[in-house]
Amino acid sequence: MRPRRSSVPADSPLGRRTAESNGRRLRVTTVLPQDGVARFSLRPTVVTTPLVVVPLAVAQSLLQQGDVVNAAFAIGAGDDGAASTARAAWMSDRLRPQLADLGLDFAPAADDAASVRLASRRLIIPPAVDDAASRILTPLGGRPSLAFLATELRPVEADGSPAQAAIPYSTVLGIDGTSHPTGELVDENGTRLAAPADDEIIVDRWMADDLRAQGRPLAVGERISVAYFLPETTGGRVEEGIATLRISGIAAMRGAAVARELVPDVEGITDEASIADWDPPFPFDQSRVRTTPPHDEDDRYWKDHGPTPKAFVSLATARRLAGSRFGVTTAWHVPRQGVPAIEDVARSLAEAIPAQAAGLRAVPLRADALRASRGATPFGSLFLALSSFVVAAGLVLEWLLFSLLVAARRRDVGTLAAIGWPPRRLALLLLAVAGLAAAGGVAAGAVAGPAWTWLLLGMLGRS
């Protein structure tokens, strides 16, 4: 079986919460004994976990992820817990991952793209990566953006009621200005639009024309409601929110308004040729999407422009609506002429990102295994206390038996004392009698103790 896990966080609306799998038959060549490799685990525990060992090439073929690995092991001669911990710290200090190792890509989204894009396979750029990108890319003219999916864009009438016309399933992009590395947002006269305020939105000409065709023309200053998925699921349920924003401008279909590279790739959505082929992880009502001619406006837009945003809001608004603990940025764009050497910038980015924050770490497996074998209960102290109790109880029992011996032989002791035995000689006699019994018990225990231990361990090993 090959589990297909989503790169996007499962608690995000665009992340798959149930793993899909396919299968492949493999021939079993051997069954490993219950020691050595068979007890391997990245999380050492006293409980043996199921393990299947296959050649690396077979695993890579099953996962269909290319020539990659997710773990590498270093073994030192004479390794113990302390040495393992020291070696892990040494390796952590020397980790030098590349962007691809961190699930990141810094390259032009297309051959003719006007910008170089930093994007993540997880869609959302992690906060540690975002901080490093801000330090490295901002001086080069880099600009962050946050794309999110609006399930519906619907005009609001003057009395506050929703209009009948609406646009389903559209990308909305948060930007920090209308002059973007991918181009500018301009009106029909070519004049650059003002950046939207925190309560404003810019819609593109296609959306304005489509709503007019539906009988509801748009005008600057009107309000529009944006229905969107909340950035994090609640108990696995995808929930929606609604924000009402004022239209501050209508962007002509050129420049940033038609820049497809503004939106990173999302498996099952952006890689489909038609909206009808979408396989999204979120609730998707296909009946709301116009895909059948002659009313196939949504599908024609998708085929012409793909996931290109139909509306633009301020970056602060986008982060307020769609930002989460996973991150608040989906891409960084840098003007292509501002990047003298893409490889050098990518190397600087990789060096600025803490490997541990990006999920790469060195683990002292030997030290962890030794720690797990000790367990959480201090059995050494427990057994010492139990043994001390047994020894103390034995001494008390010996004292009682010796007292009984003296009491039982008091007439004999009296007779010996009467014929002139001194007290010291009487004490030595009693100690000799008791010592013979004690020596016999010690001899029996020395023989029976190891035999009983061997028998007990053998029974535990077979159970």
d(CA 263, CA 148): 9
Sign of the C-alpha dihedral, residues 125, 131, 132, 133? positive
Degrees (nearest 5) of the Cα angle 163, 165, 171?
A: 110
Identify any residues that bridge with 175 across adjacent strands, giving them in sequence order. Answer: 314
244, pLDDT greater than 80? yes
Residue 22's pLDDT band (cuts 50, 70, 90): low
**Pairing mode of beta strands 311-314, 167-175:** parallel
Write down the mean pLDDT value for the chain: 85
Identify any residues that bridge with 439 across adjacent strands, giving them in sequence order. Answer: none
Summarised one tens digit per residue, pLDDT across range 108-147 is 877 667 789 999 988 899 999 999 999 999 999 999 999 9
Question: Could you tell me what percent of the chain has a pLDDT over 90?
Answer: 40
pLDDT at 313: 98
pLDDT at 237: 82
Contact 294, 34 (CB under 8 A): no
For 255, the token pair is 């420049």
How many CB atoms neighbour CB 365 within 10 A? 19
Contact 145, 195 (CB under 8 A): no
Domain ranges of the chain: 2-97+363-371, 99-352, 384-462
State which of 79-83, 315-319, 357-361 shows the largest mean pLDDT: 315-319
Residue 17's pLDDT band (cuts 50, 70, 90): low
pLDDT at 18: 66
For 126, the token pair is 């992690």
pLDDT at 2: 44
pLDDT at 1: 44
Residues 6+ apart with CB under 8 A from 371: 44, 81
Contact 54, 48 (CB under 8 A): no
Summarised one tens digit per residue, pLDDT across range 164-182 is 999 999 999 999 999 999 9
Residue listed under structure tokens 């239209």: 247
Summarised one tens digit per residue, pLDDT across range 90-104 is 777 777 788 988 889
| Whole-model pTM over 0.75 | no
316, pLDDT greater than 90? yes
Residue 7's pLDDT band (cuts 50, 70, 90): low
Summarised one tens digit per residue, pLDDT across range 397-411 is 888 887 887 788 788
pLDDT at 247: 97
- Residues, the chain: 463
pLDDT at 375: 60
